[in-house]
Chains A and B, each alone.
Chain A
Amino acid sequence: MRAFWKANQLKLAPWLFLAPGIFMFALYVILPVFQSLDISFYAWDGLGEKEYVGLDNYVELMDDEAFYTALQNNIIWLVLYMLAVPAGLFVALFLNQTVRGIRIYKSLFFFPFVISQVVVGLVFSWFYDPTNGLMNVLLNAIGFDSIAVLADERFVTYGIIVAGLWPQTAYCMILYLTGLNSVDPEQIEAGRLDNAKGWRMLWYIILPQLRPATFIAVVVTVIGALRSFDLISIMTSGGPWGSSRVLAYYMYEQAFSEYGFRMGYGAAIAVVLFLIMMVYIAGFLYKMYRDEKGH
């Protein structure tokens, strides 16, 4: 026993240290993935008998307008949510200076990320309120008609994304601010000597050094966009008539909401969402792997 340990200590020790983490990850992440996949082949209300229906849930999904609305909204979210990255960079560059009290300004800009998404949702709901909301008061003041952003199928998703961008921009900003701390002053000095200024300085000298920050910012923003749930739940409950739903919310509605409890159908939506996320997760893992190998 002791001899075996001596001989394999180096190989075994890491696994022993990893074991609790692996165990928890397997139990709470890996296993549920397969359970969801399993449930998606059944019709089940969460209470009675499960009935095996094969691929029926997926077939129904393919013919479900609400699913395509949700999918389309997910794509809009993914694309527009990316604005948080350049916006965050812009704010970070703006705040990356040594002025008296700059820390206070930085904290203020970071503030939206600290408050709960629920509060963000409520604040923006009031902002958009068709009668008393600040936005419509301003619109009326300059002679435009009120827009009921959250009650109009054309604007509702964009309205919620704007609310989501507010904290997400702050998040990206903080990532870039830490990134900017580690920008090499000597390289900037060298760039100056070579007469680089403004955009050229940013593009050729600063941004390449911020690549790790950009990478993380993109990843968290993609995940944030796919997870967008709390804002939708608070601001519209998926409405009007389901036009602001995304896949995560649709899944919740089908499986857990007051009028839902179609566990199988909800699980099928979750599986589709998982596959979409998998594209990004796989890309993320591949890059991590490549970086660690030091390509």
Chain B
Amino acid sequence: MKNKKSLLKQSLATLALATLFSSSAFAGTLVINTDTSDPAPKKAFEDVIAGFEAENPDVQVTLNLFDHEGYKTSIRNFLTAEAPDLATWYAGNRMLPYVNAGLFESVDDVWEENGLNKSLASAAASMTIDGKKWGVPYTYYQWGVYYRKDLFAANDIAVPTNWAEFKAAGAKLTAAGITPITIGTKYLWTAAGVFDYLNMRTNGFDFHMALTKGEIAWTDERVVKTMNNWKELVDAGFFLENHAAYSWQEALAPMVQGKAAMYIMGNFAVAPLREAGLTKDQLGFFQFPEITPGIEMAEDAPTDTLHIPANAKNKVDAKKFLAYLARADVQTKMNETLGQLPINSASIAGDDEFLQAGFKMLSKTSQVAQFFDRDAPAEMAKAGMEGFQEFMVKPERLATILKRLEKVRNRVYK
């Protein structure tokens, strides 16, 4: 009996030891969790890791790939339970809950030692909370209006640069039986892109930021002004019919078929549009036109970032990796694969025409927003986007919608 007991004890001890070893990383092992499940981002990350390993032969990198959507919930679990050494996330308000809960590590030293305050200056503000930096940005992409050059030419429309021209262009398109703007609002966020631009062009970047930070009432007359501009477009039949039934991918179809002429979207829409057969002469890009004259043209350009969880085991190598990821040559190469824009000011944007257009547009402004659902806290974002969708279908409910959003604002920002 006694023998049996000690045997049991022994095997338990072995088991405990084994689990200990398997869960604790060996020195020189770096675990990275990413949401880069799409082919291009996946390859970009694999290349970066290969390059890092070549320069640091003593470090062994393990990459855990998560599904893009699933990642948004898994990150909460692994940050608290089994933290990796690095994890991808987003800049702006999106990282606030994790910073507040003490789950991200401040990386001021990485910024300091590698001169990132200079080379990554354009994204510094969106990485800062409470005066500290919480991660390293590695890519961003522009938003704007993607349009069918051939449809514009056929209807004798020049690229609009102001509000009157924009509305006139739409009127010509509707007269020709073409929907001016395609959009699919089933998953809500696409409507937020339209709102971002209308609000930034109507009231300027500072107002937009103050609104998403909760400092301005949703019932403020300046918000009403933005919404009335939007209403003009809705009333003039600018947007795709039944847009609430479509995802953003489904809304690509009318544009490819030539039934719609414009799409207010991020640069990621270019790849599927090209794959669907739109040629160089058919697909173009222009900056969202000016509405209130004299206001600086701010842009939406969401930034993707890499962070060190507070519970990470190998922070030394993690910081090495961040420094590597921030380097100009690394960001150049990585973003070539991603088809997006590098953050490092010494990096070179890929020679794709849309990347170049985005790069040119973004280098003219320092007013870069992250996107509505990253600038506003989650709860406000959700309520806001639902309100935008409802407004686009039932513009007559504007007052009710804004009142509801104001109620949410009063609860969310306490």
Contacts of A128 in B (CB 8 A): 245
Q: Which residues 23-72 of B have a CB within 8 angstroms of A? A: 69, 72
Report the bound CA distance from A60 to B69 in whole Å.
29
User: Does B340 reach chain A (CB closer than 8 Å)?
Assistant: no
A139 to chain B, nearest CB (A): 14
Report the bound CA distance from A47 to B76 in whole Å.
8
Question: Which of A65, A237, A242, A262 counts the most chain B CB atoms within 10 A?
Answer: A242
Contacts of A258 in B (CB 8 A): 69, 72-73, 378
Instruction: Indicate if the CB atoms of A47 and B98 lie closer than 8 Å.
Output: yes
Tally A residues with Cβ within 8 Å of B.
Answer: 27
Q: Which residues 242-273 of A have a CB within 8 angstroms of B? A: 242, 253, 256, 258-262
Instruction: Indicate if the CB atoms of A239 and B80 lie closer than 8 Å.
Output: no
B64 to chain A, nearest CB (A): 20
User: Does A130 reach chain B (CB closer than 8 Å)?
Assistant: yes
Chain B residue at minimal CB-CB distance from A150? B245
Instruction: Indicate if the CB atoms of A151 and B245 lie closer than 8 Å.
Output: yes
Cβ-neighbour of A240 out of B72, B382, B389 (below 8 A)? B389
Instruction: Indicate if the CB atoms of A47 and B387 lie closer than 8 Å.
Output: no
Contacts of A150 in B (CB 8 A): 244-245
Question: Which of A45, A48, A151 counts the most chain B CB atoms within 10 A?
Answer: A151
B129 to chain A, nearest CB (A): 15
User: Does A129 reach chain B (CB closer than 8 Å)?
Assistant: yes
User: Does B404 reach chain A (CB closer than 8 Å)?
Assistant: yes
Question: Which of B80, B241, B381, B411 counts the most chain A CB atoms within 10 A?
Answer: B241
User: Does B268 reach chain A (CB closer than 8 Å)?
Assistant: no
Contacts of A208 in B (CB 8 A): none
Contacts of B73 in A (CB 8 A): 256, 258
User: Does A203 reach chain B (CB closer than 8 Å)?
Assistant: no
Query: Contacts A45-B97, A60-B411, A239-B188 hold; do A261 and B245 have CB atoms under 8 A apart?
Result: no
Instruction: Indicate if the CB atoms of B389 and A47 lie closer than 8 Å.
Output: no
Instruction: Indicate if the CB atoms of B186 and A237 lie closer than 8 Å.
Output: yes
Instruction: Indicate if the CB atoms of A241 and B386 lie closer than 8 Å.
Output: yes
User: Does A148 reach chain B (CB closer than 8 Å)?
Assistant: yes
Chain A residue at minimal CB-CB distance from B243? A151
Question: Which of B80, B187, B382 counts the most chain A CB atoms within 10 A?
Answer: B382
Query: Contacts A65-B404, A239-B389 hold; do A259 and B382 have CB atoms under 8 A apart?
Result: yes
Cβ-neighbour of A47 out of B97, B185, B379, B382 (below 8 A)? B97
User: Does B165 reach chain A (CB closer than 8 Å)?
Assistant: no
Query: Contacts A47-B97, A47-B98 hold; do A240 and B76 have CB atoms under 8 A apart?
Result: no
Query: Contacts A65-B404, A237-B187 hold; do A259 and B373 have CB atoms under 8 A apart?
Result: yes
User: Does B242 reach chain A (CB closer than 8 Å)?
Assistant: yes
Contacts of B103 in A (CB 8 A): 47
User: Does A46 reach chain B (CB closer than 8 Å)?
Assistant: yes
Report the bound CA distance from A130 to B100 in whole Å.
44
Instruction: Indicate if the CB atoms of A239 and B382 lie closer than 8 Å.
Output: no
B99 to chain A, nearest CB (A): 11
Contacts of B393 in A (CB 8 A): 151, 240-241
Report the bound CA distance from A45 to B185 in whole Å.
27
B88-131: contact bitstring with A at CB < 8 Å (1 yes, 0 no)?
A: 00000000011011010000000000000000000000000000
Report the bound CA distance from A203 to B399 in whole Å.
55
Chain A residue at minimal CB-CB distance from B400? A65
Report the bound CA distance from A148 to B73 in whole Å.
31
Report the bound CA distance from A47 to B83 in whole Å.
14
Chain A residue at minimal CB-CB distance from B385? A259
Chain B residue at minimal CB-CB distance from A241? B390
Report the bound CA distance from A184 to B390 in whole Å.
57
Report the bound CA distance from A198 to B260 in whole Å.
58
Instruction: Indicate if the CB atoms of B389 and A241 lie closer than 8 Å.
Output: yes
Report the bound CA distance from A239 to B103 in whole Å.
33
Contacts of A48 in B (CB 8 A): 97, 100-101
A123-141: contact bitstring with B at CB < 8 Å (1 yes, 0 no)?
A: 0000011110000000000
Contacts of B245 in A (CB 8 A): 128-130, 148, 150-151
Instruction: Indicate if the CB atoms of A239 and B186 lie closer than 8 Å.
Output: yes
Contacts of A46 in B (CB 8 A): 76
Report the bound CA distance from A129 to B245 in whole Å.
7
Contacts of A129 in B (CB 8 A): 245
Q: Which residues 184-227 of B have a CB within 8 angstroms of A? A: 185-188
Chain B residue at minimal CB-CB distance from A65? B404
Instruction: Indicate if the CB atoms of B242 and A259 lie closer than 8 Å.
Output: no
B76 to chain A, nearest CB (A): 6
Contacts of A236 in B (CB 8 A): 186
Contacts of B97 in A (CB 8 A): 45, 47-48, 261
Contacts of A45 in B (CB 8 A): 97, 101
Report the bound CA distance from A148 to B185 in whole Å.
13
A35-61: contact bitstring with B at CB < 8 Å (1 yes, 0 no)?
A: 000000000011110000000000010
Contacts of B186 in A (CB 8 A): 151, 236-237, 239-240
B383-407: contact bitstring with A at CB < 8 Å (1 yes, 0 no)?
A: 0001101100100000000001000
Give the top 5 A-B pairs by smallest Cβ distance, nearest first. Answer: A259-B382, A151-B244, A151-B245, A241-B390, A148-B242
A-B contact pairs, 18 of them (CB 8 A): A45-B101, A46-B76, A48-B101, A131-B242, A146-B242, A148-B241, A148-B245, A236-B186, A239-B386, A240-B186, A240-B244, A240-B389, A258-B69, A258-B73, A260-B379, A260-B382, A261-B97, A261-B378
User: A45-B97, A148-B242, A258-B72 provided; 11 other pairs, C-beta below 8 A?
Assistant: A47-B80, A47-B97, A129-B245, A131-B242, A148-B245, A237-B186, A237-B187, A240-B244, A241-B390, A258-B69, A258-B378
